[in-house]
Amino acid sequence: MRLEPPTHGLGLNFWLGADLEIEIGSDGTAVIPDAALLFNADFRKAGKDLLIVGEDGRRAIVHDYFADEKRATLMSREGASVLGSIVDAIVRQTTPAEYAQAGGQAPSATPIGRVEKVTGSAIAIRNGVPVAFNVGDVVYQGDVVQTRAASSLGIGFIDGTAFNLSANAGWS
């Protein structure tokens, strides 16, 4: 009897022929060889695995990323990193059904600030849907904010503080 890997609604072809298969190291990090794939990709949860899908269609699978309570830090070869808590927040937005099945909480819709400045392309992942930011748009608690190449974003918060993101950055 041949066992097929779980597809988690993404289809068997998604799993077969992944460009990169990545394991978590004993130091609690997973090295993503291409920084562009690390910072310009969609992150999805599929069972215990983290799926990274690049803008160019390349796919990487980090095996057993969600197997433990503590999430690994994703790192580029150059040393740039994305903390596990950030990955978790992104995946909660991009794969909400996986978290709903696991008993996770739905993102809150509490406004926390407003977009003050946008240069280039900046988005929020909100309830699993990417939303392009424009000046004046509301930023909500639970939003995962991302900028792309040659982009920046300025957010003014309701408490009077401000936050700026440069190119290829994320915040949640």
Per-residue pLDDT in tens (0 to 9) along the chain, 172 residues:
433 444 444 444 444 456 788 889 999 899 988 887 888 888 888 788 888 888 788 888 898 898 888 889 999 888 888 888 888 877 776 665 555 444 334 444 688 889 999 999 898 887 777 788 989 888 888 888 999 889 999 999 988 899 999 998 888 7
CB count within 10 Å of CB 97 equals 11
**Distance of alpha carbon 43 from alpha carbon 89, whole angstroms:** 10
Q: Give the model confidence (pLDDT) of 82-106 as tens digits.
A: 888 888 877 776 665 555 444 334 4
DSSP line for 27-83: TSEEEES-HHHHHSEEEEEETTEEEEEETTS-EEEETTTTSSSSPPEEEETTS-EE-
Domain ranges of the chain: 12-101, 111-171
pLDDT value at residue 119: 93
pLDDT value at residue 93: 63
pLDDT value at residue 81: 85
52 near 59, Cβ under 8 Å? yes
Six-digit token string for 16: 């077969």
